[in-house]
Amino acid sequence: MISSIVFVILLCTTAIIFIRRLREIRFNINLGRELDLSGNFSERFKIMARVALGQSKLVTKPVAFFMHVLIYVGFIIINIEIIEILLDGIFGTHRVLEGILGSSVYYVFIGVFEILALMVLLACVVFLIRRNIGNIRRFSGAEMTKWPTSDANIILVSEILLMLAFLTMNAADSVLLTAPTELLIANGHEHYSGFDFGGWFWISAYLTGFMPNNVDTLYIIERGCWWFHIVGVFAFSIYVLYSKHFHIFIAFPNTFYSRLKPSGEIANLEAVKKEVEMMMDPAADPYAAPLADALAPERFGAKDVEDLSWKQLMDAYSCTECGRCTSECPANQTGKLLSPRKIMMDTRDRLEEVGQMRRKEGAEASDVRSLLGDFITKEELWACTTCNACVEACPVNINPLSIIVDLRRFLVMEESAAPSELNAMFTNIENNGAPWQFTQADRGNWTDELKDK
Amino acid sequence: MAESMTVKTMAQMTASGEQPEVLFWVGCMGSFDDRAKKITKAFSKILHKSNVKFAVLGAEESCTGDPAKRAGNEFLYQMQAFTNIQTLNAYEVKRIVTTCPHCFNILKNEYPELGGNYEVLHHSQFLQNLLADGRLTIEGGSFKGKKITFHDPCYLGRANGVFEAPRELIRKLDAELVEMKRCKSQGLCCGAGGAQMFKEAEKGDKEINVERTEDAIEVKPDIIAAGCPFCNTMMTDGVKHFNKEEEIEVKDLAELIAEAADL
């Protein structure tokens, strides 16, 4: 009874913290500019099914893909077990689904869970080794500071511990379940009697050798692991919302809202369109008073997170810092400061900062910091070749390039802070219609070279 | 076989009441850069030989605005786009072919929303059609046994999914097509895109074109085929960096086809 109350309190507390954090994230994403991505449901759904559910973009690295699929499938299927744990926790029962599903079905589930648990465990160990000893370039880099590095290790170690607890619990339980009924009753553990699992504890069967004979000790191990596992799951589910591991949820909406156009297309800036139309329209009256319902002119490009669209901010929350973008980036490969992963991490860090400030001090609150300058430097931005390799590489369809271009737009159009060579190129285009100092009238001169020689 | 030919401008065609089958958008590199002009001329000769009625804008053509846009100068880009669209629409242009993937991308993807709706083809696609329709025939003889590797331009391949047309052309040459370790959607940039062509690279430990040329040299090609005048320049510089210009040529697809067609 007491344990049921404790369990329900823990469950409710977890749910409250979980939902509160989710709302924080939603609040933060909504700080971004509006962007209409409605419609195209079936096309979007297909992309989501292929990229998020089917993990199609991970296959370029087969080893990591294989391991990742093991953890992913394991995670989803083992979570069915959580249903039983929740029911047992609330009602004080033991393995309640055995009675509901019937032992023939139930133990097949348990057998499968155990195999998956072992595979998840092994995959996490391999990932830990790869990450810490493997000397894989994309796991290092300037932005992989203390927190991102420990974040990754905390996730892997947590998953290993959860799986170990699950298997140890089953091992202790399987010994308990085979103990003589009279002995169980005599020690007050009668709810462990009457099970016939017929050897389906495939993996934990190998651990029973390490288990003590004493029924009371077994009980303590079984209960201890049970509580460790479920409290661990509660804690981990909250941790995920503060960690790069959040991709397990947000990858789905993020891929759903993927760009549907060719990646080479950079959207035309609406705010500029109005200005240019005005400039080019001979009938436009430059002295006309703005319409009463005219919106305040938008900032051209982006200086801070609120100048980005909600989708770009959702991208930032979707990044799991795998570094595929950075390892494909031509600028990064040749030693430049630019790292697309850092662009995403900086965007998220700054968004967290702004979100917190807004919630505390209200919608008008501001500080002297900004994404451009305090997080991302000009040198990083000017190293980009807009080649789209980062966009192509991202397993959850994040677009770091769009943020880079928006920040460049601010630098150029609001601050006139382009490198001088680019300013010269702009001037040439304006004056001569070409990026160099050639006369536009000479554009067709090459045709003369095709005439009689 | 230098045959004298005249390239008509849209203005000339319109004056004589004609409409071309396709407008050849030459681009700034193709108009002014000495190396790229060779590509322009090679492609024009192919069009001429294939009896394609084409025209250029000549002095009425202006930068698409691509480098300005990608450097962040949306204003300048949209002004350029606005002017170009006015010109193109005034001549009722329907179909455009270009030898520059940057022009190709921006005309195809970014002009429509500003009122410029055209069927836009990269010259590799156009050449493929000419060969498929039998309007152009080539003999691969001069390339027999040669190893050719194709460097995917970012704005043709990854950005617009055109991977096969250039490769089809190389296969038609009867040459051996060898792929670099990074190719197609995984192809490495030459380093010129996003307005990098017009500025010094940021501080680093290597030039991007050198990194890419290493990929190419690894597969020991006789020819590096390019489909972009900017890539062409970057790869040519890369080959020079390794003092390999005696062994490896950098050529545009149009030049290869023109050579095979004995033009």
Domain boundaries, chain A: 2-30+61-256, 270-284+297-440
Q: Is residue B73 predicted with pLDDT exceeding 80?
A: yes
CA distance, residue B145 to nearest chain A CA (Å): 31
Is the pLDDT at A290 greater than 80? The verdict is no
* In the predicted structure, residue B1 carries a pLDDT above the cut 60: no
Size of interface A-B (CB pairs under 8 A): 232
* ipTM for this model: 0.96
CB contact B1 to A (< 8 Å): no
Q: Measuring CA to CA, how many Å separate A410 from each of A298, A377, A378, B138? A: 11, 13, 11, 50
Question: Does the structure show a pLDDT above 70 at A294?
Answer: no
pLDDT at B10: 97
The topology (CATH level 3) of A270-284+297-440 is Fumarate Reductase Iron-sulfur Protein; Chain B, domain 2 (1.10.1060)
Q: For testing the chain B interface, which of A376, A415, A429, A451 should be mutated: the one with the most B CBs within 10 Å?
A: A429
Top-confidence residue, A191 or A397: A397
pLDDT digits (tens, 9 = 90+) for B172-214: 998 999 999 999 999 999 999 999 999 999 999 999 999 999 9
Q: What is the mean pLDDT of chain B?
A: 96
- Tell me the residue type at A167: L
User: What are φ and ψ of residue B210, in 5° steps?
Assistant: -70, -45
B217-241, pLDDT tens digit by residue? 999 999 999 999 999 999 999 999 9
Q: Mean pLDDT over residues A334-348, rounded?
A: 98
Q: Flag whether pLDDT at A139 surpasses 70.
A: yes
Closest CB to B159 among A262, A337, A411: A262
Question: A386 with B158: CB under 8 angstroms?
Answer: no
With bands split at pLDDT 50, 70 and 90, how would you rate the model's confidence at A451?
confident
Question: What pLDDT score does A72 carry?
Answer: 94
- Which two structure tokens, joined as six digits, stand for B158? 């990854």
Cα A237 to Cα A410: distance, rounded to the nearest angstrom: 38
Percentage of chain A surpassing pLDDT 70?
Answer: 98
Instruction: Answer whether A61 touches B (CB < 8 Å).
Output: no
**B27 contacts on A by Cβ (under 8 Å):** none
Say if residues B62 and A440 touch (Cβ distance below 8 Å).
yes
The per-residue pLDDT for range B7-25, each reduced to its tens digit, is 999 999 999 999 999 999 9
Tell me which chain A residues have a C-beta less than 8 angstroms from the C-beta of B9: 444
pLDDT band of A452, cuts 50, 70, 90: low
Closest by CA position to A408, among listed B201, B74, B154: B74
CB contact under 8 A, A447 and B37: no
Provide the residue ranges of all domains of chain B, joining segments of one domain with +.
8-128, 140-260
B12–chain A Cβ distance below 8 A for any pair = no
Res. A293: pLDDT tops 80: no
Pick A276 or A423 by higher pLDDT: A423
For residue A425, how many C-alpha atoms fall within 13 Å in the half-sphere facing its CB? 26
Name which residue leads in pLDDT, A209 or A319: A319
Estimate the share of chain B in helix, then strand, then coil, as percent rounded to the nearest 5.
Answer: 50, 10, 40
Closest CA in chain A for residue B6: A451
Per-residue pLDDT band for A80 (boundaries 50, 70, 90) equals confident
Q: How far apart, in whole angstroms, are the C-alpha atoms of residue B185 and residue A256?
A: 22
pLDDT in tens, B76-111: 999 999 999 999 999 999 999 999 999 999 999 999
**Residue B241 contacts A where some CB pair is shorter than 8 Å:** no
Mean pLDDT, rounded, for A59-68:
94
Average pLDDT over residues A242-264: 97
pLDDT score, position B62: 98
- What is the CATH class of B140-260? alpha beta
User: Is B110–A449 a contact, with Cβ atoms under 8 angstroms apart?
Assistant: no
User: In whole numbers, what is the pLDDT of chain A averaged over residues?
Assistant: 93
Chain B residue with CA closest to A421: the answer is: B199
B41 touches A at CB < 8 Å: yes
pLDDT digits over A405-441, tens only?
999 999 999 999 999 999 999 999 999 999 999 999 9
Torsion over CA: B129, B134, B140, B142 (sign): negative
Of residues A297 and B46, which shows the higher confidence score?
A: B46
Per-residue pLDDT at B2: 57
Is 2.60.40 the CATH classification of the domain at B8-128? no
By the 8 A CB rule, do A359 and B230 touch?
A: no
What is the mean pLDDT of the segment spanning A328-346?
98
Contact A429 B70 (CB under 8 A): no
